[in-house]
């Protein structure tokens, strides 16, 4: 009898130790949230990217981008050919990547979906109910692990209502959480990284309490939408930044503002971009920040967008461009003739991950998988994503 009791005690202690160790391991993990953009399957040549190109071992979460929202609040499948069962079964193939270490979520919204419909739906209790019902039905149908809300942005952009969006955003999050959490589903959001949009759109402390993860879009601070050169995602300000707004258009300012306003650092994921913002210079002899431009840089063959170049396009096709490192902003530029691009490489990505470590953030969010060098044409495959994984502590 005593021997049996001792065995029970040993088993209980062993089970506790294993449970505690397991909890410690889970708590010590950092997030690497990777966005998969469904439209990249349409890109030509080496730029074509589909589910099978994802290395799921490099991510903790994979977010499908995007599904949309209808005027009545119901979920809208934007691209049926690539996404759902009438086409290439993209949802099924993506969810098949799930394992105990990888969650697959669906992201609703995005830049092109705008703000107007979100603002209208969030202000109407009937439409909000339609949204939550539609979301849970969709997640359960396709076996996703949760929802990532990408309303860009409450309180700003055309169709927003600055007076009520921030309150309605909280109401919408509460109702989504009440629907998702009891069923074991995650709720995250992609949120603004610029101080003005943070202030106009988010009651930060309440947002932090309601979300499992806060994916801060700390990029697109500058681009050809301005009339001058600027890096899309500088880590810090430089001496060129003059004025109360310009000095805040950087990663550190955005992250620290979220933290200052009460965000839980362990829920905050620092957003990084695997593409650069490019420019056509007005003066070949002036390439400094705030130098005048005539427009965006020439489109690359994969992204096919003026003012953008994927890291894969830069490393594969523009390695002969002159390289410059800005030690204030901790980011690189490349230029040739009247073309210039500011982007992130392995060195600058390392700096950003080390910064995230120093702030004890939850992890890194990456937009997006398709413009890393996923084929390894310039060296090892996924150099930016692997840099994140190797340095995130």
Distance (Å, whole) CA 214 – CA 202? 12
- SS3 of 240, please? coil
Question: CA-to-CA distance for 146 and 84, rounded, in angstroms?
Answer: 17
* 266 neighbors 302 (Cβ within 8 angstroms): no
CA distance 347 to 369: 18
**Across-strand partners of 292?**
228
Does the active-site annotation cover 82? no
Tokens of 45: 């040549």
Peptide bond into 277 cis (omega under 30): no
Catalytic residue (one of 113, 152, 316, 351): 152
Compute the distance between CA of residue 176 and CA of residue 130 in angstroms, rounded to an integer.
11
Backbone angles phi, psi at 152, to 5 degrees: -115, 95
Cα distance from N-terminal residue to C-terminal residue, the chain: 48
d(CA 312, CA 321): 14
The answer for 262, left when phi > 0, alpha when psi is -120 to 50, beta otherwise, is: left
Distance CA(249)–CA(18), nearest Å, equals 46
**DSSP string across 44-99:** -GGG---GGG--GGG-SEEEEEEEEE-TTS-EE-S-HHHHSTTTT-HHHHHHTT-B
Question: What is residue 326's three-state secondary structure?
Answer: strand
Task: Give the DSSP per-residue string, 296-315.
Answer: EPPPPTTT--TTEEEHHHHH
Catalytic residue list: 152
């Amino acid at each position: 009898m005593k021997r049996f009791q001792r065995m029970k005690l040993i088993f209980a202690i062993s089970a506790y130790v294993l449970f505690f160790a397991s909890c410690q391991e889970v708590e010590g993990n950092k997030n690497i949230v990777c966005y998969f953009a469904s439209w990249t399957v349409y890109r030509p040549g080496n730029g074509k990217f589909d589910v099978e190109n994802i290395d799921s071992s490099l991510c903790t979460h994979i977010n499908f981008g995007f599904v949309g929202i209808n005027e009545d609040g119901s979920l809208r499948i934007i691209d049926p050919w690539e996404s759902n069962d009438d086409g290439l079964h993209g949802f099924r193939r993506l969810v098949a990547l799930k394992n105990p270490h990888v969650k697959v979520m669906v992201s609703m919204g995005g830049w092109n979906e705008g703000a107007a419909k979100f603002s209208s739906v969030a202000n109407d209790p009937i439409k909000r109910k339609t949204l939550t019902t539609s979301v849970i039905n969709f997640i359960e149908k396709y076996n996703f692990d949760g929802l990532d809300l990408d309303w860009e942005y409450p309180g700003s952009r055309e169709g927003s209502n600055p007076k009520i969006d921030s309150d309605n955003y909280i109401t919408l999050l509460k109702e989504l959480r009440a629907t998702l959490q009891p069923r074991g589903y995650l709720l995250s959001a992609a949120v603004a990284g610029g101080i003005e949009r943070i202030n106009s759109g988010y009651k930060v402390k309440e947002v932090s309490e309601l979300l499992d993860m806060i994916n801060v879009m700390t990029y697109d601070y500058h681009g050809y939408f301005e009339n001058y050169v600027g890096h899309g995602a500088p880590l810090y300000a430089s001496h060129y930044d003059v004025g109360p707004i310009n000095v805040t258009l950087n990663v550190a300012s955005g992250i620290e503002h979220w933290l200052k306003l009460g965000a839980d650092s362990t829920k905050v994921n620092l957003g990084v971009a695997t593409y650069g913002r490019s420019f056509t210079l007005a003066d070949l002899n002036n390439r400094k920040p705030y130098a005048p431009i005539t427009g965006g840089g020439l489109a690359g063959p994969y992204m096919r967008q003026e003012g953008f170049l994927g890291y894969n396009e830069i490393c594969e096709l523009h390695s002969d461009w002159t390289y410059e490192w800005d030690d204030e902003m901790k980011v690189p530029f490349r230029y040739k003739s009247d073309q210039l691009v500011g982007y992130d490489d392995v060195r600058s990505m390392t700096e950003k991950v080390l910064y995230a470590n120093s702030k004890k953030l939850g992890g890194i969010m990456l937009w997006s998988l398709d413009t890393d060098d996923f084929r390894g044409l310039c060296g090892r495959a996924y150099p930016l994503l692997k840099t994140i994984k190797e340095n995130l502590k």
